[in-house]
Amino acid sequence: MFNKEIYVKRREELKKSVKSGIVLLLGNGEAAMNYAGNDYTFRQDSSFIYYVGLDTPNLAYILDVEQNKEYLLGDELTIDDVIWMGNLPSLKERAAEAGIDRILPFAELATIIGNGLKAKRMIHYLKPYRYRNQLILSEILEKKVDSIASGFSLELTQAIIRMRLIKSAEELTELEDAGKMGYAMHIVAMKMCQPGVSEREIAGTMEGLAISVGNRVSFPTILSMNGQTLHNHDHSGILKTGRLMLCDAGAENLNYYASDFTRTTAVGGEYSERQKNIHNIVLKALNDSIAMAKPGITYKSVHRNAYRIIFEGLRDLGLVTGDTEAALEAGVPALFMPHGLGHAMGLDVHDMENLGETLVGYDEETKRDTLFGYRSLRFGKRLEPGHVLTVEPGVYFIPQLIEKWEAEKINADFIRFDKLKDFYDFGGIRLEDDIVITSQGCRPVYEKRLPVTVEDITLISSH
């Protein structure tokens, strides 16, 4: 947790952005894994953490804009809580850490919101993503559960997005810390990438490392020889010489900030010519994207440029053919990279995705595309200093997708389907770095870059 002045200042700024009404930020509760009391590790809501800083379950924050009063709502520990969980700080002490003077029992939430509704005041809340919070909102707002999601406050959501997207100096320090942990996790994975080692052992070792120095992994680790499956969480494989291991993973540090890196390592560090060629296309897309990212440029244009590099690289290898601009217009590169170039990152690995991906990543000026591949870009708008983004181009050979395009003659003039058959056992290569946009361009969030060339990855993994 930062010192309380930071949270007080953030809440002051939020108050200026919301004209009137009652702002409600609901914290998360415990979530039962298989029975109440045997819970998933607690994860606080990120907006609650951003404005209140407290990672204790079952809290809510209320800001009455007109009365200029704020409250922390929660329940004091019972003797049973103390017996089972220890003598944790009281609610009053926790509120003081966040710079909040007024505390109320959680049950008062219904009264405050009920009085607000009677007085026809606007109740600003964020779209819930957990059923518990959806049910609480349904009860206190006296609305049907299925109307809760659509009734969220756009004014509050946009105010929060504006603030959270631009990372402050203290947030960048936290992100760097998460980056350092992610870096260590990936070095271990590269070293362990040897024939006969199980994917599960590597994924487990990485996760153990994240837990040993921070909160947890920032998302379930993606690690597989079958890297053509973009979010492959199946770790049942045993590494084999000749295959590639795609590893996309990061850490969440003790203050809830995320890192997210991807490297693809040849098992035992032995890359075939074909693997090197594809790796170098992805590496060029990564490096050129980083070189291009600066204030004033839309990330949508950086994504399109990555698609250009991938198309031209694959054309040099004889896998596609035709004019670059025509291929980009037709969305040809999406066959090989059916995902976006990157996303915002911060307290969430996909920052604020719960508030609405398009609200976070697009605006009046930069609209989301509808074409396959382009439409998957989570963040397309103009870059500003303080934006933190991932840059993660990839080339994948997904047999089912290739066969679908071939059968339906999609972009058939551009694609050498006959040549692609040889790549059905290739898997995929993704390379991912995390950057922060500066006044002039961008820099890595964590100063040390993971080995990224074939030569440097080989040095680590072929010992």
How near is the Cβ of 217 to ligand GLY at its closest, in Å?
Answer: 10
**Cα(394)–Cα(414) distance, rounded to whole angstroms?**
19
For residues 136 and 143, is the Cβ–Cβ distance under 8 A? no
**Cα–Cα nearest to 256, from 420, 54, 461:** 54
How near is the Cβ of 339 to ligand GLY at its closest, in Å?
Answer: 8
How near is the Cβ of 122 to ligand GLY at its closest, in Å?
Answer: 34
- Residues of this chain that interact with ligand GLY (CB under 6 A) are 219, 248, 260, 343
What order of strands is seen across the sheet that includes strand 123-124?
102-104, 69-73, 60-64, 22-26, 123-124
How near is the Cβ of 343 to ligand GLY at its closest, in Å?
Answer: 6
Q: Give the nearer residue to ligand GLY in terms of CB position, either 100 or 452.
A: 452
Q: Give the nearer residue to ligand GLY in terms of CB position, either 70 or 260.
A: 260
Q: Give the nearer residue to ligand GLY in terms of CB position, either 11 or 303.
A: 303
For residues 442 and 290, is the Cβ–Cβ distance under 8 A? yes
Q: Give the nearer residue to ligand GLY in terms of CB position, either 183 or 414.
A: 183
- Cα distances from 334 to residues 67, 222, 423, in angstroms, run 52, 21, 16
Q: Give the nearer residue to ligand GLY in terms of CB position, either 257 or 423.
A: 257
Q: Give the nearer residue to ligand GLY in terms of CB position, either 21 or 394.
A: 394
Cβ burial 168-185 (10 Å sphere, 16+ → b, else e): eeebbebbbbbbbbbbbb
**Cα(284)–Cα(397) distance, rounded to whole angstroms?**
18
How near is the Cβ of 393 to ligand GLY at its closest, in Å?
Answer: 12
For residues 249 and 264, is the Cβ–Cβ distance under 8 A? no
How near is the Cβ of 332 to ligand GLY at its closest, in Å?
Answer: 23
For residues 167 and 152, is the Cβ–Cβ distance under 8 A? no
